Chain A
Amino acid sequence: MEAQEHISDEALIAAFRMDGMPYHLDMLFSRHIGKVRTMLYQMVLHDADADDLTQDVFRLVVRNIEKFSGRAAFSTWLYRVAMNRAKSFLKRRQRHPVAYGVDAPEPSGCSSLEPDLALATRELDERITKAISMLRPKMRAAVILIIMQGVPLSEAARIEGCAIPTMYWRVHEARQQLRKLLEEEL
């Protein structure tokens, strides 16, 4: 199994297609599950929903792995599935939004912070969470991919299925909106 760590995603898929053994997929998914879950949380801003969507995304990938053509990297395909799933979920939820920040996780490492600082950080996180929640899903996806995840513009455009200038415009617009919403923090 250790040798598999050096095998590319695409080679793991090829190996699965040859022998049908699930451990190839286990290895493949374990490489990406953290990032997928993080991106989904940043999209839907709710822990339980992000967990459910993560499972949903990987179920879809298993059921459709035969459809992966290899024209794009597996990660591009996977993140596209994840982002589309999140957007579809947000569309459904838009009329009954959750109260953002109510179940926001404790900032990691907050136990080592002074209580006042921890509280201030938590409040800041809630304001940022609220600001992100006000972005339209496509804008939110652009911010997550490019600013938070550091995905190159061209790759982000492929994930979102749009042209590079469109992706650039979305990030620019999202930044403008966030600048207004977070004026006090800047």
Chain B
Amino acid sequence: MMKKKSKAAVDGLLRDWASRQDFRADSLSELENKVMRNTRECLFEQNDGKQAAACWHFSMWRNLSLASVMVVAVVLVLVLPFSVQDRDIQRPDGANVQTVASFTPEQLAARKVVFDELNALFGGALRWVSVTERDFQFDFEADVVRPATPPVVLRTVILTRSEDGRAWEPVWNMDVILPADEYVTLEKPDAPIPQLGLWVHQLPDGGFVVQTDFGGAGTLADSRMQTFLPGDPDVQMTSLHSGDTEYRVTQSLAVIAGEAS
């Protein structure tokens, strides 16, 4: 009985709170006008051919068959020869990082194949793919509407060294293929930065902002970095210090053109 009363009391408090947060009618009307304006802009863009809305037929991913596994295997074969190579970035002075962080046309083409194949395999439900020199990970979610922006390849290379001048060691080194505004969380429990959150946002002028969240219990835990990449493709390098440890974060980004979206 007490439990029931307590449940009703919590629900009552919440419902009363909700009723007091009512949105004012004039604000709602203003918001409605903005939504109507946006609707027309979106329709205009679509009719103008800038945002071709491809019909999306979700094929049941639960029915993954041997054929699907074969496709993943084929994708792996395509991915790994073009993956980022750790040995190239272990230069003692870290001078070659900028070069390593740039894309070759073959790598970009391979990334596009990976994204397109996996996206087709999961009926358009693919959220993102990350590719390292050893493996690739991906995530997908059915029935989720995504922004109609082409995906981008974001390469993130993070090196670390102690201030006694030892060689640079790679911490993270991967390409993530993701649509703008999709938040990606990657984990590597044993790394000095065990968790990495990535988010890319396209600005109206065509440039990109990349937000990188450093999570977990590492030395940069709970800190955030924002990088502005005005062009496509573009590369930015940032140096970070935490105690006696120095980090060098290099990020490069390129838009994958074509049908993938």
Instruction: Give the bracket for the number of chain A residues in contact with chain B.
Output: 35 or more
A→B interface (CB under 8 Å):
20, 22, 25-26, 29-30, 33-34, 37-38, 41-42, 51, 54-55, 58-67, 69, 77, 80-81, 84, 88, 91-92, 95-96, 105, 107-108, 121, 124-125, 128-129, 132, 143, 147-148, 161, 175, 178-179, 182, 185-186
Contact A51 B20 (CB under 8 A): no
Of B43, B55, B182, B183, the contact of A67 (CB 8 Å cutoff) = B55
Q: A128-B13, A186-B13 are in contact. Are A41 and B23 (CB under 8 A)?
A: yes
Contact A38 B23 (CB under 8 A): yes
Contact B147 A62 (CB under 8 A): no
List, in ascending order, chain B residues with CB within 8 A of A121's CB. 20
**Shortest distance in angstroms between A172's beta carbon and chain B's nearest beta carbon?**
9
**Shortest distance in angstroms between A174's beta carbon and chain B's nearest beta carbon?**
9
**Shortest distance in angstroms between A119's beta carbon and chain B's nearest beta carbon?**
14
* Stretch of B105-113, B138-146, B186-194 at the chain-chain interface: B138-146
Contact B224 A22 (CB under 8 A): no
Contact A67 B145 (CB under 8 A): yes
Contact B18 A178 (CB under 8 A): no
Contact B222 A95 (CB under 8 A): yes
For A172, the closest partner residue in chain B by CB is B7
Query: Could you jot down 20 A-B contacts, CB within 8 Å?
Result: A22-B43, A25-B39, A29-B39, A30-B32, A33-B28, A42-B18, A51-B31, A62-B38, A64-B146, A66-B56, A81-B145, A88-B183, A91-B183, A92-B183, A92-B197, A108-B21, A121-B20, A147-B11, A147-B15, A179-B6
